[in-house]
Chain A
Amino acid sequence: MDDQRSSSILRIAAPLKSLLQRFTYLGLIGLAFSMMLLGKIDAVLVDRVRAEVTNAVAPILGALSRPAQTVSEGIDNFRSLTNIRAENLALREENLRLLQWQSAARKLYADNSALRALLSAKPEGGARFVTARVIAGSGGAFANTLILNAGASDGIKKGQAVLTDQGFVGRIAQVSSRSSRVILLTDFNSRVPVLVESSRGRALLVGGNTRRPRLIHVAPGARVTPSDRIVTSGHGGAFPPGLPIGVVAAVSDGGVTVQLFADYGRLEYVKVADFGLKGLVAKEP
């Protein structure tokens, strides 16, 4: 008796349930579309939400990234053991070359400071650095960003330059209290004014979510040849001039691509530099 009744209830309830489910499904799809739209309309709000959620997950990411790092360090150690002899030889040679450079640099430094004093040139301000660990990274077709384990409480602000020992890699895009997000130079939304070091030609370095960003708006008449060094130009006042970025990899009709100095796949620690520059992001909160 009971069985019969419950089955008749089921007979009515099942289509109702599937109808309800269909509505939920369409509702959630609609919600997703409106979120995409919201990201376009109010990017600041979406950034805020992103930063807060990232902040909440940051401790987990921090813990998980340690074993991953340890494993990769172990593999590196093993690999370097196998060719330690060849490396030693190469380093000795390099050391000799660098010693020559060192004396040249000392001489230039002395010259430079004497000439600066003569011209009473305005000194560039010193920088303050915060070293942070990379706890998450995403690369690929949609975004090339990193998450760092330092945030506003460590003195990190939006727009600051992110450096490694090999040079400039990106800028701070979102900050929350204990974590921050870096937009790498390879990201689709990254645009940085640069100089071709040898010819002093100005250009804009544009990321495209590929490994090699491109140079656009190269100043007319500027000569760009492969293996030219690319450095920040300091235009716009967001970053100081002369931070190394990479070398020109190829020049073709399709444009100029740049091979970056830093290995973006293996960033473990980065320096966030506060050069005291307000630049273009000064007006944002």
Chain B
Amino acid sequence: MNTALWQRLDLWARNTTPFGIAVLLVILNVVPTSIPDYAAITPTLALIAVYHWAIYRPNLLPLTAVFALGLLQDILSGAPLGVYVLVFLTAYGIVLSQRRFLAGKSFMIYWLGFAIIAFGAGVESWVLASIWNFALLDFRSLFFQFLISLGLFPIVAWMFMRWQQAFLPQD
């Protein structure tokens, strides 16, 4: 009975996972790790999610979801409210416009694209937070954040790829 309903529910559950995983990444971002000095250079993991889903399944991570992610990131990390919202929205918009170029390319291109986006995001957040505080903030820790997220990107992106192949319906 009601197989259609179950199928719809199942599809709905699968389709919400990109957003769910991204929320989890935001929360994981602030969990204390006790690694010396890691707190200062914790990469913004959710940016990887925004980048990946903007290329492969933008319909599953719509604008409002990106907005919500940024807001949660701002609130939990203690950054000025709105900074990560703007950063995520900008990254999403740029990636979406370059989607045709990036989708289905080799991993190196995919990685390079993220490098450019992540660097832009770092600069943007630095400029925004500096204006908000009326002071020049320290850029070095942001740069290390950028390097760490570049290093973590293949691992997280690989998991997204596998997830997408295993659980999400084809586009």
Q: Does B77 contact A (CB under 8 A)?
A: yes
List B residues 59-85 near A (Cβ within 8 Å).
Answer: 63-64, 67, 70-72, 75-83, 85
Nearest chain B CB to A77's CB is how many angstroms away?
A: 13
Question: In the assembled complex, which residues on chain A have CB atoms less than 8 Å from the CB atom of B33?
Answer: 68, 72
Q: Are B30 and A25 in contact (CB under 8 A)?
A: no
Q: Does B107 contact A (CB under 8 A)?
A: no
Question: In the assembled complex, which residues on chain A have CB atoms less than 8 Å from the CB atom of B128?
Answer: 36
Q: Does B106 contact A (CB under 8 A)?
A: no
Q: Which of B110-118, B130-138, B159-167 lies at the interface?
A: B130-138
Residue in contact with B89 in the complex, picked from A29, A49, A210, A265, CB distance below 8 Å: A29
Nearest chain B CB to A23's CB is how many angstroms away?
A: 10
Instruction: Pick from A31, A36, A134 the residue with the most CB of B within 10 Å.
Output: A36
Q: Are A145 and B78 in contact (CB under 8 A)?
A: yes
Nearest chain A CB to B91's CB is how many angstroms away?
A: 12
Question: In the assembled complex, which residues on chain A have CB atoms less than 8 Å from the CB atom of B41?
Answer: 140
Q: Does A211 contact B (CB under 8 A)?
A: yes
Chief secondary structure at chain A's binding surface: helix
List A residues 35-81 near B (Cβ within 8 Å).
Answer: 35-36, 38-40, 46, 49-50, 53-54, 57, 60-61, 64-65, 68-69, 72
A163 to B141, CA, bound (A): 26
Given contacts A29-B86, A32-B70, A142-B77, contact A209 B34 (CB under 8 A): no
Given contacts A25-B89, A188-B137, contact A139 B39 (CB under 8 A): yes
Q: Does B168 contact A (CB under 8 A)?
A: no
A147 to B85, CA, bound (A): 21
Given contacts A33-B86, A142-B83, contact A72 B138 (CB under 8 A): no
Question: In the assembled complex, which residues on chain A have CB atoms less than 8 Å from the CB atom of B142?
Answer: 140-141
Given contacts A35-B85, A60-B27, A136-B30, contact A141 B78 (CB under 8 A): no
Q: Does A208 contact B (CB under 8 A)?
A: yes
A208 to B137, CA, bound (A): 8
Q: Are A35 and B82 in contact (CB under 8 A)?
A: yes
Query: Which chain A residue has the least Cβ–Cβ distance from B145?
Result: A140
Question: In the assembled complex, which residues on chain A have CB atoms less than 8 Å from the CB atom of B39?
Answer: 137-140, 144, 264-265
Q: Are A61 and B31 in contact (CB under 8 A)?
A: yes
Question: In the assembled complex, which residues on chain B have CB atoms less than 8 Å from the CB atom of A49?
Answer: 75
Q: Are B64 and A138 in contact (CB under 8 A)?
A: no
A29 to B87, CA, bound (A): 10
Q: Are A68 and B32 in contact (CB under 8 A)?
A: yes
Q: Does A263 contact B (CB under 8 A)?
A: yes
Q: Does A268 contact B (CB under 8 A)?
A: yes
Chain A, 244-285, contact with B by CB distance < 8 Å: what is the 0/1 string? Answer: 000000000000000000011111100000000000000000
Q: Are B76 and A138 in contact (CB under 8 A)?
A: yes
Q: Does A204 contact B (CB under 8 A)?
A: no
Q: Does B93 contact A (CB under 8 A)?
A: yes
For the complex of A and B, 5 pairs with smallest distance between CB atoms: A139-B39, A143-B78, A72-B34, A36-B82, A35-B82
A residues contacting B by CB (< 8 A) are 21, 24-25, 28-29, 31-36, 38-40, 46, 49-50, 53-54, 57, 60-61, 64-65, 68-69, 72, 134-147, 181, 188, 208-211, 263-268
B residues contacting A by CB (< 8 A) are 27-42, 63-64, 67, 70-72, 75-83, 85-86, 89-90, 93, 125-126, 128-129, 132-133, 135, 137-139, 141-142, 145
With A24-B63, A49-B75, A72-B34 given, name 12 new contacts (CB 8 A).
Answer: A32-B85, A39-B80, A50-B75, A60-B27, A61-B31, A68-B31, A134-B32, A136-B76, A138-B78, A141-B126, A141-B139, A211-B40
Enumerate 29 A-B pairs (CB-CB under 8 Å) in ascending A order.
A28-B64, A29-B90, A35-B81, A36-B80, A38-B81, A39-B132, A46-B81, A50-B81, A53-B76, A64-B27, A68-B32, A136-B30, A137-B30, A138-B77, A139-B40, A140-B40, A140-B41, A141-B125, A141-B126, A141-B129, A142-B79, A144-B39, A188-B135, A209-B137, A210-B138, A210-B141, A211-B37, A267-B32, A268-B32
